[in-house]
Each structure stands twice: as C-alpha cells, then as structure tokens.
Amino acid sequence: MSRGGRIQLFLSTLLATLTMALQAEPVQTELEAFFQPGSQPNSEVVYEAFRPSSNCRNCHFGNGDEVFVIYANWLGSMMAQAGRDPVFHASLAIANQDADFAGDICLRCHTATGWIQGRSEPTDGSALLPDDFDGVSCSVCHRMVDPDFKTGVSPTIDEEILADINPLPISPGGGNFVLDPADRSRGPYNDVFNAGHSWLHSPFHRTADICGTCHDVSNPLFLQQPDGTYILTNTTQPHPTGNKYDMFPLERTYSEWLNSAYANGGVDANGRFGGNITVVSTCQDCHMPKTTGLGCFVPGTPIRSDLPSHDFAGGNAWAQDMILNLFPDDNLFPDVMEAGKQRAVSMLQRAGTLELTQQGNHLNTRIINETGHKLPTGYPEGRRMWINVQLLDSTGQLLREFGRYDQLTAVLHAGDTRVYETRLGIDETVATATNQPPGESFHFALNNVVIKDNRIPPRGFTNSAFRAVQAAPVGASYADGQHSDDTRFRLLPSAASATVRLFYQTASREFITFLRDENTTNDAGDVLFEQWELTGKSPPVRMATATIDLEPYAGGDGNGDGVVNLTDYAQLVDCQVEFGIPDCQSLDFDADGDVDLVDFGEIQIVFGR
C-alpha cells in the first residue's frame, strides 16, 4: 500500500472511531442489574443514623499530649477519603454515562452510609450529604456483621439481624455487606468497658473477610461463558448466578490474597509489615499493623500490645493533596493527611525487593513481590509500576536511560522497559452493542476483556488457583510458586555502573485525560484534571533503588582492532567449535561459558561498531 493509501486508511479509521464515540449511548440498564446480596437501602429494615466520624475524634484522636493511632491514622488514609477522592467522582461520572445506574457499584463502598440510607439515587452521588464523604467511616466498619453466623463466636444479636436479610452474601466481595441496623459498635476486644457507646465483641473484625467485602469487585452486567469470554446479561435483572466468579473481574485483591501463602499458614515477614508481630497472615496484619498504646483516653483504658494501628496504607500517596485543596473546611488537618501520604510511601517501599546482577553484556533486574497479593494490586485503571535504568560512565555521566519518565509532561517512555499493569478492553460484540470502538478501553463499566495483566504474583501462587478466581496472568508467564520477575537490559561498553529504580504511579496521564475528555455530564473530569496539574500530576513514588558497578564484558571485538567485522565473525566460528582458545571471552556475550547461537545473534547487533 502506498504512503498516501496508508494515510487515507488511518484517517478513515480515525473518523470511524470518532463517529462511533460520538454516537455512543449508555447501555439501557436498571438498578436491579447491579443488585448485590446483604443489607439494602429502602428496605423494610430501618437503619439508625450513622454517627459522623467527627464524633469519634473526641475520644480516639488524642489527649493533647499524644495522637492516637486510631482516628488520626484513619483520617489520613484513603479509607477516610474514599468519598472525597476526585478520581472516584470522575470515574463515577463515566460509569453512569456508559451504563444507567452503574454508579451503584461504586457508591456502595465509597460512600456506604449514603448508599444504605437511600442517598445513592441518583447514582451520580448528587444526593449525598457532607458526612457521606467520610467514605469507609468508623460507623461503617464497626457496624459490620459477619454474614456467616457462628454460634458461640458471633454476637448473639447477629442471628436476629441476619434473619431479616435475604439473600445473604455468598462470599466477600462487591460491597455485599451486612450492617447492624442499630448504632451498636463492635470490634475485636471483649474487655471494653465505660465506652461512650455500645460495644459488642466481634472476632469477624480480625478476619480478612471483612476487608474482602470491598476489595473483590466484579461487574454484574457480564456473565462468563464456558470458553472464558464474557457476554452482557439481562440488564434489567440481578445477575443470573450472583457468583462474583461468574461476573467480569474488576479487582481481585482479596482473591489474590486468599490463594497466597499469606492466607495459607502465614509468612514470616521478619518485621517488614506486622508491627509487633512477625508472622503475618490477614490483611489487617499488614495494613493495620499491631502497635503498643492506648486506643482512647477514657480513664481505665488498658495499654494494649496488639492495638491495630488504623493506617490502611496502600499505594496512594497523592490524592490527599487534591482532597485538601477541594475540601478545605472539612477538618482534615494537613499534618495528618501528610502523615497518611508518608505511610503509603513506606508501604510501597516495603512491597518489593530489587536485586541486580550482571550477565555478560546485560543487566538483569529482579523484583520480588513481598506482599500477599499481586504487585501492584487493586483497581487497575491508570495504576502501574515500572523499572527505570540509568547507565553511567566512570565520571557519573548519564549514557542511556530506560523507562524514562518526564516529570513535566507526565509521559512515561515505556517502549524500552517493563511496565507492570492491567489493561482492560471491549470485544467486538460489546462494541457493537454500545457503539464504542473495540479494543483497549478505560470504560470500566463496559470492559469485558483482560488484554494484559503481567503484575507479579504473591508467594504461594499457582496458575490453576489464580485461574479459578479470574486472576491468571495475561500476556505474561509465571511458574507455580514464582513471586518475582526478571527483566534484562542491554549494557553499553562504556558503562561503568547502573542505577535502577522501581516506580509506582497511582494514575497515568492517559487515564486522567480520558476522565476529562470523555465526561459529557458534569465537571468532575475537569476538576480532577485541574487538581492533577496542581499537585504534581500523580507524581511517581520511588519504591526501591539499587546500584551496581559493572564489569567489562564481551564486546565482540575478538582480535582487538577496535571494530567488530568479518574477522571477528571468523573468530566466533572457531570459538563455537572450541571455547577457551585466545580471545573467546570477548565473544561470550551472555557470559555463560561458551559461544553459541545467542552470541552469534549478539555480534550481528554490534557488527560494524
């Protein structure tokens, strides 16, 4: 095809894509299509008002001399800010544009108090009250009921509460929680007295199941077929099976943990995550590390050595800055928010180990996943982790950089490095039904294909187990038991050292731009984009850094005349027959002790230099 023909084809394809996007209409769905079991808004069960989290501050923030690890740490986390996060609001707008009522998936966890009390309609969040923006608030977690009643273990009142819920959740996920209709706080201790509120002992609050409630997210608009594909269901009715593993997976953090070594016996992390404990097993062990101290300053409160620090640290060390700008009157305390950011940075820096080795004319980088889930994990859109390599000469001058990130433009040059991420998309069938272009997409309410998932699995990984929970690698291969990944980078003869950095970013430029450009209903995308620019454009967090001094390696110049030419080719042939004769070391590119076809390929690359 001629150059003009190629240009014409490109323009025609571009025009068709733009036309399709302009004609895109939301999938005609009903609210019932997003139904999940558990407590329901507008039901016969009447839910007492949820205490504002600011009430909890009175006893759990500090006594003037000490800031406690309960309220302050929670306030600085994204749990507390789930309802304020501008990325959430911008994503919510797109979800509702793509499928009527799709925002219900998001609101039930991000603003649970508003959702359960009927303020989730309309599903764009416009009916929410200020207290609802506290996200996963104190009352939400501490009024949660174990859906699986355990005689002699669960609070006795729970049996009565569960009797009024039909249907009960099948398994954790999808925001399918059960909440106590009464304002009864509950938690892991059975010796709480003189509290300013009611208290029930609840072992459920020490289990990972309570975390799985909102950290295994599925799209009930889709039904998995025997061949592994996903088709749209009856979009006016609840999902035909109600099983999250029959829906399209949006997030599988809990299932990843469930099938890791952490969930199956625990892992001795040598103090890496667990605070006062060494062997970590549950989500709480890492994200609410045990500390020694007081939970509140009510007289008689015991000093505990297993006090859960309410850190809830994940990978987001950026959104707090935007939230402070957007909600200056919400008593968020800038120092507390900054401390929350730093805990997220610390969590990221403990999440992986970076190891470097030189292998001939290549640098090998190994990243070991130290967490109990994939690295990275969570909501996939815009999140990514990548390797940056800088080759330096003997004076420290930069010779070459792989995985360069431009801070000014927020553009990652990803073509020469490894980027760990999940990319979702739309297949031809759904594209036809929605007038969206097929292929890679940020339209999470419509996506029904996993195009790429090369994130590093955790200890205890098996392909069969992860395949069963819709978390198998895509576009990457990991052996059973593998919880690390190696990437090789070609060295330069003049390089004396290499510095390698592992970065994580909460939101890519592409994702933020999409949320702005695709929004046709409100200004949430514009608000986000403005804040993104004001706060460093989701600045990457440096997770790990390592440096290695490089040894001289085979350059292909077998006879030492300063150029790689046909004479060296002849020498390479001799070395293939008998390694060890003079000058063969200079032709052993991969430093494996012989000269073979691999080295032959390498000499072709440097031929003529």
Do the domain assignments include residue 402? yes
Reported as type and span, the H/E element at residue 72 is helix 71-75
Mean pLDDT of 535-553: 96
pLDDT in tens, 14-27: 444 444 444 567 89
Could you tell me if 574 and 542 lie in one domain?
Answer: no
How far apart CA 224 and CA 531 sit, in angstroms, is 38
Claim to verify: residue 492 and residue 526 sit in the same structural domain: yes
- The pTM assigned to this predicted structure is 0.90
Window from 123-137, 312-326, 477-491, 545-559 with minimum mean pLDDT: 545-559
pLDDT of residue 583: 63
* Distance (Å, whole) CA 366 – CA 372: 18
Under DSSP, the state recorded for 278 is: S
**How far is the C-alpha of 523 from the C-alpha of 516, rounded, in Å?**
8
Can you give the pLDDT at residue 560? 67
Cα separation, 179 vs 516, whole angstroms: 35
Of 549, 574, 594, the one marking the end of a domain is: 549
pLDDT value at 396 more than 90: yes
Amino acid present at 322: M
Distances in Å between the alpha carbon of 536 and those of 319, 405, 406, 410? 11, 13, 12, 9
Which has the closest alpha carbon to 471: 483, 487, 456, 486? 456
State pLDDT tens for residues 31-79: 999 999 999 999 999 999 999 999 999 899 976 667 789 999 999 999 9
pLDDT at 558: 66
262 confidence band (pLDDT: 50, 70, 90): very high
Residue 225 has pLDDT above 70, yes or no: yes
Return the pLDDT at 377.
Answer: 98
- Is residue 442 a part of any domain in this protein? no
Instruction: Establish if 201 belongs to a structural domain.
Output: no
234-242 long-range Cβ contacts below 8 angstroms, 24+ apart: 234/33, 235/27, 235/28, 235/29, 235/30, 235/33, 235/99, 236/29, 236/30, 236/32, 236/33, 237/30, 237/32, 237/33, 238/32, 238/33, 238/35, 239/33, 239/35, 242/37, 242/167, 242/170
Spacing of C-alpha 13 from chain mean position: 33
Please determine, for residue 549, whether its predicted confidence score (pLDDT) is greater than 50.
Answer: yes
Number of domains in the chain: 2
User: CB neighbours (10 Å) of residue 188?
Assistant: 15
pLDDT (tens digit per residue) in 202-224: 999 999 999 999 999 999 999 99
pLDDT digits (tens, 9 = 90+) for 331-371: 999 999 999 999 999 999 999 999 999 988 899 999 999 99
Do residues 392 and 474 share a domain?
Answer: yes
Are residue 367 and residue 461 in the same domain, yes or no? yes
How far is 467 from 454, CA to CA, in rounded Å?
Answer: 14
For position 26, what pLDDT does the model report? 81
Inside any domain, residue 484: yes
Tens digit of each residue's pLDDT (9 = 90 or more) over 563-606: 788 887 788 778 877 766 656 767 777 767 788 888 888 778 77
Say what percent of the chain tops pLDDT 90. Answer: 81
Average pLDDT of the residues of the chain: 92
User: What is the C-alpha separation between 194 and 267, in angstroms, rounded?
Assistant: 37
Give the per-residue pLDDT at 468: 98
Is the pLDDT assigned to residue 142 strictly greater than 50? yes
Residue 323 has φ and ψ, to the nearest 5°, of -65, -40
Which range of residues forms the domain containing residue 590? 566-606
Q: Cα 225 vs. chain centroid, distance in angstroms?
A: 26
Rounded CA-CA distance 152/148 in Å is: 12
pLDDT at 370: 98
| The pairing of beta strand 222-224 with beta strand 230-232 | antiparallel
Tell me how crowded residue 117 is: count the other CB atoms within 10 A of its CB. 19
Mean of pLDDT values over 114-120 = 95
What pLDDT is recorded for position 175? 96
Confidence at residue 534, expressed as pLDDT on a 0 to 100 scale: 98
Q: Is 596 exposed, middle or buried (0-12, 13-18, 19+ CB in 10 A)?
A: middle
Q: How many CB atoms lie within 10 A of CB 20?
A: 16
Nearest to 214 by CA among 166, 254, 158: 254
Pair 205, 153: CB distance under 8 Å: no
Q: Are residues 473 and 590 in the same domain?
A: no
State whether 485 and 575 are in the same domain.
no
* 512 and 599 co-located in one domain: no
The encoded tokens of residue 397 equal 């001058």
pLDDT of residue 593: 76
Residue at 120 is within a domain: no
Mean pLDDT calculated for residue range 480-497: 95
Q: Pick the last residue of a domain from 523, 549, 575.
A: 549
> 235 in a domain, yes or no?
no
Would residue 284 count as lying in a domain? no
Residues 6 or more apart from 598 whose CB is under 8 A from it? 589, 590, 592
pLDDT of 571 reads: 80
Q: Is the pLDDT of residue 91 over 60?
A: yes
Q: Dihedral angle at the C-alpha atoms of 151, 154, 158, 160, nearest 10 degrees?
A: 10
**Same-domain check for residues 409 and 505:** yes
Shared domain check, 597 and 526: no
List phi, psi (to 5°) of 291: -135, 175
Q: Is the pLDDT of residue 5 over 60?
A: no
DSSP for 420-479 reads E-EEEEE-HHHHHHHTPPSEE---TTT--EEEEE-PBPPTT--HHHHHHTT---BSS---
Same domain, 534 and 592: no
Does residue 101 belong to any structural domain of this protein?
no
Cα–Cα distance, 397 to 249 (Å, whole number) = 46
475 and 581 in a single domain? The answer is no
**Is 373 found in the same domain as 505?**
yes
Instruction: State residue 183's pLDDT score.
Output: 95
Classify residue 522 as exposed, middle or buried by CB count within 10 Å of its CB (0-12, 13-18, 19+): middle
